[in-house]
Structure 1
Amino acid sequence: MKNYSVLFLLSALKSRSEIQSVTETADNDSEKQLVRVGLLYSGNESLSWPAGWTAVPTAYLALEQMEQLNALPEGLGIELVFIDTKCDQLVARRVVLESLKKADIDVYIGPPCSVGAYEVIDFISHSFFEDSGYQKPFLVATAAGYAESKADTTDLYRRLVPNINQFEHLDVIGQQFGWNRYGIVYDTGMEPMLETIRASYNRSLIHTQLIDVSMSVDNIAEQLESFKIKDVKIVRAVMIAGHGKVICAAYRAGLMTSDYVWFSNQWTWELILDSLPDYCTTSEISRIKSESNGLLSITLDPSSIKGVDSDVGITSEQVFEAIPEAKYWDLYVYDCFWIIAKCIDSFISEKTTQQKLESFMTNVDRVSFYGVSGLVRFDGLFSSTSQLQLQHLVDFSETVKISQFSSESYVSIETIYWKSGAVPTDFTQKTVIRVIEKTVTVNKVVALVCCTCAGLCILLCICIAVINFIYKNEPIIKITSPIINNFILMGSVLLFLCVVAMSSTAATIDTDIFLASCNFYLISINLGFTTTFGALFAKTWRVYKAFTQFHAQKLIISDLQLVVTILILIGLDAIILTLAMIFDPMGYELIRTHRNTELLNELTVQHYHYNALKCTMNSSVFFYIFGGTKALILLFGGFLAFETRNVNIEALNDSKSIAICMYNFFISTCVGVVFNFVLDWDQNETYILLGPLILIVALFPILVLFTPRHLKLALQRQPIQVNVRNSAIGANAKVGQHQAN
């Protein structure tokens, strides 16, 4: 078998032009119709594309085998037009345009250089070429590949070789390792491919970074810092040149540690290793090898086609024997010529350019044969049958085949050696601290019970007030001063409503409602206390005056005097409340009561902050004024209750019961002060004790003074005889009737 590498070198010496034409036919008859095949290749050895020129000897080899097997129909031949794109997008456009004008190309075959491939396809997809009838079919035979773009809608090309740059392959790999966030670093010339990837994978493609490989290593490192900012750990390098410089810059940017995974094309590994010393120090190279996870690569799997019999005259092993420098994508170049041979009838002269294009694409989709690259068969755009492989460059020294996969299957072969001992994650697993703010409310069960009891007690007060009004002329009611009793009832109702106001947070934590509750609480607790205790105080004071004035011939203390006394006390309280509302209005604050910490998992800590709403006053002046006036009334009332403790007037003023009520108020108030100021409890905790305590204080005089007498009167509906006896002043003293007025 000929050495086709030597043939190419001889032809290159003969002509150094970018477009060269060589004619090969099925026989020696020069009258045969020729189909012009434009073979794009990369002859620019200054770039990093290895052996791009091997597509040319591969084409010679394919034509020789066609001739030996009489694969071309009689009367048809192939004219090869070699087009050197130099792996440059501008050159690719220019030389393709020249080839259309000078050589009238019928079909193009793509090179191993992806820049030339996608630039040509996008170029000839332009509407200008469509309108001019210049659009030509294109067979993609490049492993670096063309990423899907606007050519998809024009049906101009078919991909024989799997595109190792396609983002779908990262998705297949990512599913095995739990990755779904990726980044891509690329240089100028790869923008069209990246635009398509962004449009299709906007969710999983988190970040892309364009770099200028002509910049210094440190400047590139600054650009790569964006991957750390975006927290991208899985990085795909899509480069034309400067691979070693990029790896060195990535190390200086802190991206070559065990936390990161880098993908690059396998054929660039040798270039990286050779060029690293040009950009990194010896110690940096040593740390890159020892600290990083090496490099991963997605490439064609040669084992999937080794030993496979073909229908095209030779096997893949014989291709590499004839062309030692050939790469595996050259096998697809070889098979592309056989696709053209099987569909060459599409290019008969009677057809228009558009008809040729449509006929060729239709026939290509019907092709099915075993070539040197394996089974060649299409069912539409981007169809491929070959297997890919995942390779690992361990410590930048040893290549290990990790798996064999396709879009439909994944077969693991070796386990990847990760430097950290575990599969790197695609994002930084940070300890998540969640802070949940919760507003503590009063105990809902206690609030429900207290509010229900307060409502029932208010109904009881209303019933007693009704009885008080209906039977106001009954002696047993009249002699107890009904109007004073009504003050006691009104004060008790205010205290019951005070308990309801304290319970507002059980229903809602609306701050406006809470502020209104604070104001109502302040008013009701003060006026309720003053009204109830003031009425009891007035009654006790009358008993005290009546039974301690031994020398008075006649002592008249009317209900009006008592009412005035009560109103004076209430008026004093009202004035203080008004001044407080004007100069120190009620407010509220959210105070931190306590906090809990819960460890949800090893990376998530949840803090619960419990806050409570609290009624506040900016100044303590009015607070002490309220407390001082109530303390004076309590002390004086306590004194009167003590002095009249032995007075017992049955069915009249019932002074002993009044004294008991006074004691109840005094003691309960002291207990409430202890709850509020001595114990270090928050407002919601004290509610459990204060709510029931206020209910008891307000209900006690109702039960002691009114309920037995008023219910007895309401049930018996008979006049009750009233006997008066002063056991304290004189054992046998008779009082016929004490007229209240």
Structure 2
Amino acid sequence: TLTQSPAASNEHNTLTHCRKKKLYIGALFPMSGGWPGGQACLPAAQMALDLVNKRTDILPDYELELIYYDSMCDPGEATKLLYDLLYTEPIKIVLMPGCSSVSTLVAEAARMWNLIVLSYGSSSPALSNRQRFPTFFRTHPSATLHNPTRVQLFQKWKWTKIATIQQTTEVFTSTLDDLEQRVKEAGIEISVRQSFLTDPAVAVKNLKRQDARIIVGLFYETEARKVFCEVYKEKLYGKKYVWFLIGWYADNWFKIKDPSINCTVEQMTEAVEGHVTTEIVMLNPETVRGASNLTSQEFLAQLMSKLGGKNPEETGGFQEAPLAYDAVWALALALNKTVGPLKAKGRRLEDFNYNNKDITAEIYRALNTSSFEGVSGHVVFDAQGSRMAWTLIEQLQGGSYKKIGYYDMTKGNLSWYGNDRWIGSGPPADQTVVIQKFRYLSQKLFVSVSVFAGLGILMGIVCLTFNIYNSNVRYIQNSQPYLNNMTAVGCMMALAAVFPLGIDGLHVRNSQFPVVCQFRLWLLGLGFSLAYGSMFTKIWWVHTVFTKKDEKKDKRKHLEPWKLYATVGVLLVIDILSLMIWQIVDPLHITVEKFTKEAPKGDVDQLIEPLLQHCSSEKMNTWLGVVYGYKGLLLLLGIFLAYETKSVSTEKINDHRAVGMAIYNVSVLCMITAPVTMILSSKQDASFAFASLAIIFSVYITLVVLFVPKMRRLITRGEWQSDQQETMKTGSSTNNNDEEKSRQLERENKELQKIIQEVLCHLHFLQHAVEDVSY
């Protein structure tokens, strides 16, 4: 057995290396600028290239070489460098840009040269557009990958209402658009959406004013400090609020002194406590040896060695370095996969040029089906060329971030540690809890008024019984007892309406409430027609028949009772027809009125929304206008007629003055009650008290004025006994004579007043004449 010397072995490797054909990768690493990610990503990519080129099972006939420039994360600079990469030999088989703004430029132009673009640091959701970027892939997941995790957390904590605040840049706008679509599908509402360019003060104030509780913040680290300084000023933090932020900020981002804000570190620490972050898993948390035969911890150790002991927190792109490392491996494995199919077609990778679509298509298919374990986790691309990855969920507890779970979007699996900690007793509510509470009538008030109404009904029964029992007494007969009976019945119906007026949802179910509404309307309507209509009829006919002063004509006038009853009947029919039309065309139903929310006593995150039940219909104001207009005209006409007949004296309707007094009182009370009750409709106790007491007082006054004098007269004079005896005619004759004498005396008195007035006028004239003569 011949043993090859070390010198001979090195010579063999050198010859093999020389025989390898080179494939060139054009890369743009941002070593400076807004995101200097190339500081760590470039060394990681070089580490991967070294390992790939040493492997004999991956691209054994080829060697990958990296040609890179510093794009400074500037699209303008990247345009110039892209031109150099494309038009300077050698031909590049793949382009590898870094940040999103540069990747957008490169990926949109690359299809013109049939180039595959593989990015390691682009998160913009806009890059997932396959029509615009047909050859683009990235090992850095899209920023929208946070959104499924956020939605999962919203559902876990039973939140259905969230708010958002974003910095107005393309990446955050696209992310928010995607979030809005996802939460809508999950039945979650974005109630407040705020944005800002540089100063977040107004946006934060709007969040506070609109009662935002669960808030998703999308902004860069510098703007995050500005936002939370305003959050502290507006007190938009604590046990009532939860903030969701991006997880790729530095762990101590809120402690960094920033001259653009005027908040102390202590204030910032207080404001950010308890917020939740979602972060793409960029380093495999498990100890797994993947395609590169390195674990994630071994990779970090080698990277730290290559960085020469630099502080990771001060090295740009340190978190994204595993993605750059796996990007090179994804490319190497994909190129290796294309060797066989190309060979079958008689093609080779080194034949690639910018006009060759076949090789580009093979590389595209190979990348599209990539699946391997990398140091950043399992590497696989979705249909838009974006990396599918796990999401790390952390919460700031006591000033430091604690892992509380992972979410695997590919499997929809949430791994939960259960160590989430809240400032309050648990996750806060997504909005102020509004408790709807019905306002009910005071039962003490209802019982008290009902007692008065019951006593009034009892009084009405007594008056009705008295009138019927003494209907054969001439004095009662001359007061038109049938009309008085109608008045008593109408008063009792009006008093009976007090009971349904006080019945609300505390006593009956909602399905029964319309019946209560009907009782209110019909009892009040018919009660008014009977009670007021009968009194109005008396005054009307007294004015029509007895207002002329011609004595001879007065003796010939005859009052026909049926006309009185017909008048009341007409008024009653008008009310019945109008009420029937109302209920057929536009029936009453229950409506609920909402009032301004009230805060209960104590530190409770609740609001009470008072509700009040009403009887209403679609055209309620129209119907009330018709009814009030008609009744109002009757009341005004009744007052006029009562005034016109105040001096009339007739025995045919001997109580018309008492009727007039009752009309005055009822009219005044009704005219005051109607508008005041409408004004107080939102105050259930005051409205009921005013309306019911107005009814009760009107009824009491009417019954007392109409019936008590008759009772008193019959009791004091005993007239019901004289009518039942044989001397009734004598008593009646004497009584009639007395009335005739009284009328004659009134006429004589008026004639004497005229004579005295004429004498006074003559005396006044003589006085002026004497004064003129003296002058």
Check if 1:288 corresponds to 2:274.
no
Which of 125, 139, 148 is residue 160 of structure 1 equivalent to? 139
Alpha-carbon offset, residue 163 of structure 1: 3.7
SS at match of 2:728: coil
Residue 56 of structure 1 corresponds to: 42
Q: 8 Å contact 2:487–2:531 — kept in the other structure?
A: no
Query: Closer, same or farther in 2 for the Cα pair 1:522/1:690, shift >3 Å?
Result: closer
Q: Give the whole-Å Cα distance in 2 for the aligned partners of 1:276 and 1:250.
A: 17
With over 3 angstroms needed to count, the CA separation of the structure-2 counterparts of 1:210 and 1:622, relative to structure 1, is: same
Partner of 2:286: 306
User: SS of the counterpart of 1:380?
Assistant: coil
Of 291, 303, 306, which residue of structure 2 is paired with 1:323? 303
Partner AA of 1:272 in structure 2: W
One of 78, 83, 96 as aligned partner of 1:109: 96
Conserved in 2, the CA contact under 8 Å of 1:115 and 1:190? no
Alignment RMSD: 6.3
Hey, what does 1:376 align to over in structure 2? Answer: 379
1:443-462 aligned at under 5 Å gives the runs none
Residue 70 (structure 1) shift: 1.9
Is 2:32 the counterpart of 1:41?
Answer: no
Structure richer in helix, relative to its length: 2
Give the distance between the partners of 1:28 and 1:323, measured in 2 at CA: 25
Is the CA contact (8 Å cut-off) linking 1:244 and 1:276 kept in structure 2? no
- Opposite residue 329 of structure 2, the aligned amino acid is W
Query: How do 1:534-613 and structure 2 match up within 5 A?
Result: 561-563=557-559, 603-608=606-611
TM-superposition CA deviations, 1:541-594 (whole Å, max 9, x none)? xxxxxxxxxxxxxxx9999741489989999xx9xxxxxxxxxxxxxxxxxxxx
Pairing 1:416–2:433 present:
no
CA distance, structure 1, for counterparts of residue 694 and residue 233 of structure 2? 62
CA contact (8 A) 2:37 2:320 kept: no
Q: Which residue of 2 aligns with 1:207?
A: 193
Aligned ranges for residues 618-629 of structure 1 at < 5 Å?
A: 624-627=639-642
When residues 399 and 98 of structure 1 are mapped into structure 2, their CA distance, relative to the original with a 3 A threshold, is: same
Work out the number of aligned pairs and report it: 560
Aligned residue type for 1:415: N
Q: Given residue 182 of structure 1, which amino acid in structure 2 is its aligned partner?
A: A
Distance 1:500-1:296 versus aligned 2 partners, 3 A rule: closer
Residues 509-556 of structure 1, C-alpha deviations (whole Å, 9 max, x = no match) = 9xx999999998899445544589999x99xxxxxxxxxxxxxxxxx9
Name the SS of the counterpart of 2:68 in structure 1: strand
1:525 & 1:26 partners in 2: Cα distance?
129
Note if 1:171 corresponds to 2:151. Answer: yes
Match of 2:728 in 1: 728
Q: Equivalent residue for 2:716?
A: none
Deviations 1:80-113 (A, max 9, x none): 23243323344345434543444654333353x4
Letter of the 2:427 counterpart: V
- Paired with 2:389 and 2:644, the residues of 1 have a C-alpha distance of 97
Cα distance change on mapping 1:258 and 1:362 into 2, 3 Å: same
Could you tell me whether the CA contact under 8 Å between 2:93 and 2:115 is conserved in 1?
A: yes
Deviation at 1:308, TM superposition (A): 0.6
Using the alignment, how far apart are the partners of 2:55 and 2:208 within structure 1? 58
| Residue in structure 1 matched with residue 120 of structure 2 by the alignment | 141
**Cα distance in 2 for residues equivalent to 1:119 and 1:250:** 36
- How far off is 1:293 after superposition? 1.7
CA distance in 2, matches of 1:194, 1:507: 56
Deviations 1:364-422 (A, max 9, x none): 233332222333334533665543211233344x2311222223122222533333454
- Is the 1:185–1:236 Cα contact (8 Å) retained in structure 2? yes
**In the aligned structure 2, how far is the partner of 1:89 from the partner of 1:247?**
31
* Matching residue's letter, 1:361: Y
Partner of 1:336: 327
Q: TM-score, normalised by structure 1?
A: 0.57
TM-fit CA distance, 1:43: 0.7
Find the counterpart in structure 2 of residue 69 from structure 1.
Answer: 55
| Residue type at the aligned position of 2:26 | G
- Unaligned runs of at least 5 residues, structure 1: 1-24, 213-218, 439-483, 539-555, 575-594, 642-661, 696-724, 732-741
8 Å Cα contact 2:372-2:378 kept in structure 1: yes
The residue identity in structure 2 corresponding to 1:36 is Y
Q: 1:401 aligns with which of 393, 397, 403?
A: 403
Change (3 A) 1:610 1:687: farther
| Superimposed CA distance per residue, residues 596-650 of structure 1 (whole angstroms, 9 cap, x where no aligned partner) | 9999997342435577979475999765445567888899458x79xxxxxxxxx
Sort the Cα spacing of 1:307 and 1:618 in 2 relative to 1 into closer, same or farther, 3 A.
same
SS of the residue corresponding to residue 343 of structure 1 reads helix
Maintained 8 Å contact 2:255/2:265: no
Q: Distance in 2 between matches of 1:335 and 1:198?
A: 28
TM-aligned CA deviation for residue 191 of structure 1: 5.8
Residues of 2 paired with 1:604 and 1:293: CA distance?
A: 26
Change (3 A) 1:303 1:316: closer
**1:241, distance to aligned residue in structure 2 (A):** 4.5
Name the CA shift for 1:80/1:401 in 2 (closer, same or farther; >3 Å).
same
Aligned partner of residue 152 in structure 1, secondary structure: coil
Q: Distance in 2 between matches of 1:597 and 1:286?
A: 36
Structure 1 residue 186, shift from structure 2 partner: 2.1
Q: Distance in 1 between matches of 2:663 and 2:632?
A: 21
> What SS is found at the alignment partner of 1:204?
strand
Do structure 1's residue 28 and structure 2's residue 17 form an aligned pair?
Answer: yes
Distance in 2 between the 1:534 and 1:569 partners?
A: 16
Query: Residues of 2 paired with 1:629 and 1:597: CA distance?
Result: 54
Distance 1:36 1:78 in 2: 6
Q: CA deviation at 1:66?
A: 1.5
1:587 — aligned with what?
Answer: none
CA separation of 1:205 and 1:190: change in aligned 2, threshold 3 A: farther
Distance 1:673 1:366 in 2: 91
SS at match of 1:317: helix
Superposed displacement of residue 684, structure 1: 6.4
Alpha-carbon distance change, 606 to 417 in structure 1, aligned in 2, over 3 angstroms: closer
Instruction: Give the secondary structure class of the aligned counterpart of 2:72.
Output: coil
Aligned amino acid, residue 314 of structure 1: L
| Deviation of 1:356 (Å) | 3.8
Give the Cα separation in 2 of the matches to 1:135 and 1:435. 70
Q: Secondary structure at the match of 1:171?
A: helix
Tell me what 1:82 maps to.
68
Q: Give 3-state SS (helix, strand or coil) of 1:236's partner.
A: strand
Percent identity over the alignment?
Answer: 14
One-letter amino acid matched to 2:302: A
Which of these residues, 251, 263, 278, is aligned with residue 232 of structure 2?
Answer: 251
**Alpha-carbon contact 2:282-2:322 (below 8 Å) kept:** no
The residue identity in structure 1 corresponding to 2:318 is: K
- Using the alignment, how far apart are the partners of 1:607 and 1:389 within structure 2? 44
Q: Match for 1:562: what amino acid?
A: H
Provide the rounded CA distance (Å) in 2 between the counterparts of 1:322 and 1:236. Answer: 35
SS of structure 2 residue aligned to 1:153: coil
Q: Secondary structure at the match of 2:419?
A: coil
Q: What's the offset of the Cα at 1:490?
A: 11
Distance of 1:425 and 1:139 partners within structure 2 = 43
Question: Which residue of the partner structure matches residue 186 of structure 1?
Answer: 167
Confirm or deny: 8 A CA contact 1:159 1:381 kept in the other structure.
no
Write the letter of the residue equivalent to 1:160. T
CA offsets per residue over residues 331-359 of structure 1, 9 Å max, x none? 23222222222222278437854444433
Q: 1:242 to 1:38 in 2, by over 3 A?
A: farther
Unaligned runs of 5+ in 2: 1-13, 308-316, 343-347, 442-476, 502-514, 547-551, 571-594, 616-623, 674-687, 704-724, 732-775
Note the 1:230-249 alignment, pairs <5 A.
230-233=210-213, 234-239=215-220, 241=222, 243-249=224-230
**What is the alpha-carbon distance in structure 2 between the residues aligned to residue 145 and residue 515 of structure 1?**
73
